[in-house]
Structures are given as C-alpha cells and as structure tokens.
Amino acid sequence: MGEKGKIVFGLAVFVILVTYPFWSRLAASGEAEAARPELDYPADASVCVEDTPFMTANHMDLLNQWRDSVVRDGVLEYTAASGETYQMSLTQTCLDCHDNRDEFCTRCHDYANVTPTCWECHTTPGGGS
Amino acid sequence: MEKKSRREFLKETTAAALGLGATLPVVTTACSGSAEGHAGAVSEDQWAMVIDLEGAQRADVQEACVAACEGAHNLPRIDDPAEKIRWIWDEEYQHVFPDQVHDHMPEALRTAPVLVLCNHCTNPPCVRVCPTQATWKRDEDGIVMMDMHRCIGCRYCMAACPYGSRSFNWRDPRPFIETDSDGNFLSDFPTRTRGVVEKCNFCAERLRDGLQPACVEKANQVPGAEGVMAFGNLSDPESDVSRILRSERTISRRVALGTGPNVFYVV
C-alpha cells in the first residue's frame, strides 16, 4: 500500500498539467482581451474597391486573384460589385489610398499574428521598401 | 429474362459496333473543329530584338543599357561573379558565338564585348523543365515570363538555358539595390527575394504602356549610336526588326540547338 500515495500524487500532477490550458484561460478571463487595433483608414477615400466587411474578411483572396489575373492572364482591370473598374495593382491601386502601410496593413497583421510575404518584393509607390 | 442464342448475341454486338463506328467520324470532326478554334486564338506575335554587333560594342552604349535595366527593374549590384544578378550584360564574342570562332581569328575580334540578354526563345528549354510553371512562354506576345510568386528556386531553368541568361538570388538582394537620397528604390518594379531565379522580361511592364524596352530606348539615345538596337514584332512585316532581318546579314546564338532565339545580331 506504500505506493498508493505516489500514484495519487503522480495522477494529480498529470491532471493539473493536462488541464493547464483550460484553467489558466479561466483564471485570465477577468483580464481584458488584447485590444483590437485602431486602424488608420484613409481620410480622403470613402469607398474601397469592395465594401469594408468584405475587404476585411477577403482582401487576401482578392489580392491572390488579382495577382494570378495580372501575372498569368494579362487581365489588368477589376470590375467591382458596384460596377466600378479598378486597375489590379497592389502598389498603384491599394497603396494609393492606403498610403500608411505601418498603421494599416502591419498593425492588423501583427494583431492577427500573420506574416504575409508581399513586402519582401513589392514596394510602396515611389519605390519605398 | 429470355435467354439469347449465341447467334443473336453476335448479331446484336456487331450491329452495336457498326453503329459506334459510324458515329466516330462525326465525333472526331467535332473535336478537330474545336482544336482549330483554339489554335486560332493563339497569337503569332513574337517580340524580338536586333542588336548591331559593332555599334553595340561601344562601352558607353553598353553602360547605358545596363544602367537603364538596373534602374527599371531594381537590379542589385553584387560584385561577386558567383552571385551576380544580370539581365543584360556583355560577354566575349568567343563565348557568345562559340561556333563562329576559329583559330585564325584576331584576338581583338574574339574578345570583343557583345551585349547579351535572354533570347526569349521560340522553343524555350527553361519552360520545359520548370516544375511549377513559374516560367512560361506567353501566347499573346512570345515573351518568356517569370512568375516570382511561383518560383521555388530549384534552378532547373538555369541548367536548361544554354545562354546563361538566368540569375539566382543567393541572398536578399535589397541591400544591394541602388536607392535615391530618400532611401527609395529607383522604380516601383517589385524587387526579388532570396531563393528565386530572375532574368530579362523584355520590359513587359513597359511594353504594356506602349514603351520600348529600357535598354533599347537608352542605347538609341547615346549620341552617335542611334539605331544600334531595334525592337518589334516579328509577325509584323513592317516592324523595325522584320525590316532589318530582311535586308541585313544577321546571326543569332547557337542556332543548332534548336531553341529559336529571338535576339538577333547584325554582323
């Protein structure tokens, strides 16, 4: 029977370790969640190529679609849901309004913990890195 | 179910086979019709370049070409020959045209500098070997393009190209790219990243805007070198390149390999 204490102790340690993610989260729930980033939207452009909720959720897919369209198919113009046409260009079209990459793109990408590789090659208008 | 005799079974099978045979010509005609329709959509257009061998040996012309290309495409300047990134550069005559050189040729002619760049071949071996189709020949204008998004850096294309027209980014090129006083690159052209292969794109981004390639434009602006380089569409009989190819004696690099280079040299 001398082993009983050790077994119970070992089981207790095991259960505590396995459930650590759950109870640590419960303990921290009182604290505020990481604040959503304040994004610096362009002041002079009231509308993006599509509406804001769509762009927030799908801009990465839209950009991939633009990339394939321009590079592979040579199609340069995008017709938005509104009927407006835009040149499909990250540097020319997107960054023409969003001229604040650090306060817009990077701030939200840091919050979402994603690291897109766009800027390893693409530049801001005027050749800025 | 009624049991069929062997005779009936054979009769029905034969009839069915004949019926199928009769429809085959119709099916093949329909297929070939659509194939022709597709072939008709592929353009015959092919951009090509003609370089005056003698005129383009001038150092100032070559420097103008290289500088124009570097500025237009944000090329890094890396001195180590093993890591150099080159889109257009000069090479000795004996290396550019190895099958044109013989023992009795003067040294000066053998080592004369010749401008070389990607030949945008009609039958490009680099395209055949690319496992991701990161490099491909454009149907609409015959340019052999690179898609840096798809390049995985395997360098098969570099092994396949008999002209050494491709360069590999062994390191991040950005620290080696020329910038202006504000720290900005000279153009908006995307830089490349470590681990991709790059080469001349015949200035596809300038052609889209109706401009000539940067090297052609700048070389022809050098005083006394007007007309040293010509650029145009091979399928247009009135284009500059077609006119020169009709009237002058021209050569292209290593024709026997069957790659069909589209950069020509007036000798």
**CB of A2 less than 8 A from some CB of B:** no
Structure tokens at A29: 């729930």
Cα separation, B265 vs B208, in Å, equals 25
> Does pLDDT of B120 surpass 80?
yes
> Does pLDDT of B183 surpass 90?
no
Give Rg (Cα) of chain B. Answer: 26
Q: So what's the pLDDT on residue B36?
A: 41
pTM of the model as a whole: 0.78
Mean pLDDT of the residues in chain A = 87
User: For B149, which of A71, A76, A123 is closest by C-beta distance?
Assistant: A71
**CB of B227 less than 8 A from some CB of A:** no
Over pLDDT 90: what percentage of chain B?
Answer: 82
Q: So what's the pLDDT on residue A68?
A: 95
More confident of the two residues B94 and B16: B94
Contact state of B183 with A129 under an 8 Å Cβ cutoff: yes
**CB of B191 less than 8 A from some CB of A:** yes
Q: Count other C-beta atoms under 10 Å from residue A81's C-beta.
A: 9
Mean pLDDT of the residues in chain B = 90
Question: Backbone phi, then psi, for B78, in 5-degree steps?
Answer: -115, 125
Contact state of A127 with B187 under an 8 Å Cβ cutoff: yes
**CB of B188 less than 8 A from some CB of A:** yes
Q: So what's the pLDDT on residue B35?
A: 42
> Does pLDDT of B38 surpass 50?
no
Residues of B in contact with A91 (CB under 8 A): 188, 190
**CB of B192 less than 8 A from some CB of A:** yes
Decide the pairing of beta strands B263-266 and B47-52. Answer: parallel
Position B23 confidence tier, pLDDT thresholds 50, 70, 90: low
Q: No. of H helices and E strands in chain A?
A: 5, 2
Instruction: Tell me how close the Cα of A81 comes to any Cα of chain B, in angstroms.
Output: 26
The complex's ipTM?
A: 0.75
> Does pLDDT of B45 surpass 70?
yes
Q: So what's the pLDDT on residue A26?
A: 79
Reference B141, options B34, B236, B245; nearest CA is B236
> Does pLDDT of B252 surpass 70?
yes
Residues of A in contact with B143 (CB under 8 A): none
DSSP per-residue codes, B131-175: TT--EEE-TTT--EEE-TTT-----HHHHH-TT---EE-SS-SGG
What would the pLDDT profile of A27-80 be if each residue is shown by its tens digit? Answer: 776 665 667 888 888 877 678 899 888 999 999 999 999 999 999 998 999 999
What would the pLDDT profile of B191-250 be if each residue is shown by its tens digit? Answer: 999 999 999 999 999 999 999 999 999 999 999 999 999 999 999 999 999 999 999 999
Cα separation, A76 vs A78, in Å, equals 7
> Does pLDDT of B34 surpass 50?
no
Note whether A118 and B148 are within 8 A (CB).
no
Instruction: Tell me how close the Cα of A92 comes to any Cα of chain B, in angstroms.
Output: 9
Q: Count other C-beta atoms under 10 Å from residue B267's C-beta.
A: 12
Specify the length of chain A in residues: 129
**CB of A72 less than 8 A from some CB of B:** yes
Q: Which of residues 14-73 of B touch A (CB under 8 A)?
A: none
Contact state of A127 with B185 under an 8 Å Cβ cutoff: yes
> Does pLDDT of B97 surpass 60?
yes
Cα separation, B202 vs B120, in Å, equals 8
Q: Which of residues 51-70 of A touch B (CB under 8 A)?
A: 67
Q: So what's the pLDDT on residue B31?
A: 47
**CB of B181 less than 8 A from some CB of A:** no
> Does pLDDT of B154 surpass 50?
yes
Q: Which of residues 99-128 of A touch B (CB under 8 A)?
A: 117, 120-123, 125-128
What would the pLDDT profile of A91-119 be if each residue is shown by its tens digit? Answer: 889 988 898 888 899 999 999 999 999 99
Contact state of B208 with A76 under an 8 Å Cβ cutoff: yes
Residues of A in contact with B147 (CB under 8 A): 71-72
Position B110 confidence tier, pLDDT thresholds 50, 70, 90: very high
